[in-house]
Structure 1
Amino acid sequence: MCKMENILLYCLKQINGERTIYSIYHLLNGKKSSQTLQDAHLFSLKKFFRILDPLTRETFDEMINNIVEKKLVEPCGEQRYKLTNAGHDYLTNESLPKYINGWRFHPYTLLVWERLSLLIQVVSNITFQESKYIPIQKNTEVHNWLKVFLKRTSIPKQKLGEVLFLELVACLEQASDINPAVLVYRLTGYQQIGLTSMQTSKMLNIDSVQYHLEFTNILHYLIQFVENDPSRFKVLSSLLANLQQEDSLTLSSRKTWILLNQGCSSEEIARIRNLKISTIEDHLVEFALNVEGFSINTYVDVDVQRKILEISRQQETRQLKVIRDTLKTASYFQIRLVLAKYGERKWN
């Protein structure tokens, strides 16, 4: 089992004192700001993006205090920490969640769970020829998805339960590093009500944050395993039908993107949208991060790009001020843009 403190230590190791601890909190919560999105890329932390959206700041502070008390980290500035030697040793001997991929799967992790839990409940009751029960999920879209699946599937209704059971077992037996109980205790079926997340965490004797982490890990495992061999999992692969990948751009930056493609300059976009030029620059950084083929040459001379990357790599830093102090001809915006476009390559 991967402990939550392993993830905190890994994130702190990656940011190396160049961001405050709350940059990690915003990452785990999935705050969709330019800074958090850029940090996820620059520090190679995308897999942890929005994996703990229920995490409160109070709980996060408690977890940080816990690793401070264990002397696994030490302060290196206001709200900034670096790993101690003990912290590095601890992290070397501990594991990270193997299957979590928040950046890719967070937009539909909950939807896959809602589909799976309702599918199992309905198929279980079909197997026992029971038609009177209260659906465990209320989401109308999930109900509509299941109706379409039941109408289109070529598997006889009375066989669905057996096929679904065998597919689930085949999935869960493949990974020795997950605990199926994390998922199975939550399932509702014929005359059987699944436990809540809180009840399950108590049953497994782990705290609610740790349980959420394990639950997300196992769902992401299922998604990946089925996705890699959909023909083998005729029922479970239906869970992944018509999933919409969340737009990687914020709503505001999407509007800027439209104007940019119409030939407007940054200044013109700022005037049209009644925004500060710094806000438009934030959007351009988002494009450098997320839009394949987006060229930054209009904003940063190629020679300046090369110098920024050289300084970043030589000094092993992504801190804007350090780079700016060395290369005064580059603006903070230009440095951000170059790091957004190319900065991640060095550190992966």
Structure 2
Amino acid sequence: MVHLADGILLLAIKRLNGERSERSLFHVLNGKRSATTLQDAFFYELESIFGQFPQATYSYESMLKGFEKRGWLDRKQFKLTKAGEMISSPEAVERLFNRLGGERRDYNATTWKRLSLFVQTFMSKEHARTFYPVQADRPAEQWVKQLLQLDRDWKALMRTFHQEIEQALDHVGDPYATAVVYRFTGAFETGLTYEQIASLLDVDAETARLYFLAGWNELLKVLPEDAKIRGFTYGLSTDRMTYSARESYDLFLKGYIFDQVQARRRLRTSTIEDHVVEMAMYLAVFPLEQFVPMQDIVAIEKLRDPVSWALKPVFEEMSNVSYFQIRLVFARLKRGETFV
């Protein structure tokens, strides 16, 4: 049987366009926060699945072997066959793929842990029932304990939370909304497993898990900015830049030049270059000409194959630019800028 989850993974391979390796995708699926993996996710539009398929090497290898055996994957080129293209092409696959929220996964996951544990704790206390925490997460437990110590009308706020979630889920729609609702644990009912939700939705467990991830990600996105439930996101950030790159960025903002930032951070040149590439990838405004002369920017854009993000062909054509400079230009092109 073909599952929607299979289509998601095949679509990821398709987007890599044969330009990256099996290992590259493995790191994206596991959410490795290295410069190379972050750039792969950015350039090949894989950010939504970043870290959303954590798996061991043997399970990843087994998955690829399965795709190859079913005639969906050419592993030598790491590209899909025509049959694989068909599995990855339905609109439902792309719609789910783009909603998974991998670029916000820590934000989404922590918010869910806090809220789901709060609901279980509050409801259980209201009905004087003992319970085992639905989230085995010490920081979330501490956060909820501190929250409940505050002097609030929690009954009224719970009603508000419920209304806000209902309204948001109306926008999210099924099957995503159903997967979210049935994951909540109350005083008398335990949140369903992915296997149980799968049975309700007539899908496999992995697809049910993806429906939940997509539904929860969309819910947090459509919540009004003044929603009370946003209090559960306190102290969290959706910033995609790594903490180390953010530290370098703060120094650049203070007026330090590249060599000065490197000296203060005591990091290798290549590491600071990776930080600058992150800035080019994620910042709305970036001073590209401080790093690449305009004539070279134009030349790089002209040389780039419109359907490829491969660096080497451009590098081989231009003896006067570095891979670092090409990555910077590509990052701004990927963001929709043009210089020709």
Query: Scaled by the length of structure 1, what TM-score is found?
Result: 0.79
| RCO comparison, higher one (Cα < 8 Å, 6+) | 1
The aligned residue for residue 336 of structure 1 is 327
CA contact (8 A) 2:280 2:286 kept: yes
Alpha-carbon displacement from aligned partner over 1:267-310 (angstroms, at most 9, x marks no partner): 44444444332222112111211233221212211111111112
What secondary structure does 1:108 align onto?
A: helix
Report the residue type matching 1:342 in the other structure.
L
| Residue 132 of structure 2 is aligned to residue 141 of structure 1 | no
**What residue ranges of structure 1 are gaps of 5+ in the alignment?**
none
- Comparing 27-36 with 204-213, greater Cα deviation is found at 204-213
1:123 Cα offset (Å): 4.3
Matched ranges for 1:261-340 at <5 A: 261-314=253-306, 316-340=307-331
Q: Which residue of 1 aligns with 2:80?
A: 83
CA distance in 1, matches of 2:3, 2:149: 37
Residue 27 of structure 1 is matched in structure 2 by: 28
Match of 1:109 in 2: 108
User: 1:108–1:243: 8 Å Cα contact kept in structure 2?
Assistant: no
Aligned equivalents of 1:306, 1:247: Cα separation in 2: 30
Provide the rounded CA distance (Å) in 1 between the counterparts of 2:243 and 2:164: 39
What secondary structure does 2:290 align onto?
A: coil
Classify 1:327/1:185 alpha carbon distance in 2 versus 1 (closer, same or farther; 3 Å). same
Aligned to 2:8: 7
Q: 1:185 to 1:73 in 2, by over 3 A?
A: same
Does the Cα contact within 8 Å between 1:9 and 1:91 map onto a contact in 2? yes
Query: 1:191-202 to 2 correspondence within 5 Å?
Result: 191-194=188-191
Give the letter for the 2:303 counterpart. I
1:170 deviates by 4.9
The answer to whether structure 1 residue 120 and structure 2 residue 122 are counterparts is: no
Q: Offset at 1:28? A: 2.4
- Which 5+ residue runs of structure 2 have no aligned equivalent? none
Note the C-alpha offset of 1:339: 0.9
> Partners in 2 of 1:226 and 1:272 — Cα distance?
41
Q: How far did 1:324 drift? A: 1.1
Q: Measure how far apart 1:51 and its partner are.
A: 2.3
> Deviations for 1:82-112, whole angstroms, at most 9, x for unmatched residues?
1222222222235231632221x31321222
Distance 1:11 1:21 in 2: 11
How has the CA–CA distance of structure 1 residues 118 and 176 changed in structure 2, closer, same or farther, with 3 Å as cutoff?
Answer: same
Alpha-carbon deviation of 1:344?
Answer: 4.2
Name 1:95's counterpart in structure 2: 92
Deviations 1:17-75 (A, max 9, x none): 111122222222222221222222212222222223x3323222222222222222213
| C-alpha distance in 2 between matches for 1:107 and 1:179 | 19
Give secondary structure in 2 for the equivalent of 1:345. Answer: coil
Aligned partner of residue 107 in structure 1, secondary structure:
helix
- Which SS does the other structure have where 2:28 is aligned? helix
Cα 1:301–1:71, aligned 2, differ >3 Å: closer, same or farther?
A: same
What's the secondary structure of 1:294's corresponding residue?
Answer: coil
- The offset of 1:195, in angstroms, is 5.1
Q: Please, what TM-score do these two structures have when normalized by structure 2?
A: 0.80
Question: 2:49·2:102 contact (CA, 8 Å) conserved in 1?
Answer: yes
Give the Cα–Cα distance (whole angstroms) in 2 for the partners of residues 331 and 174 of structure 1.
47
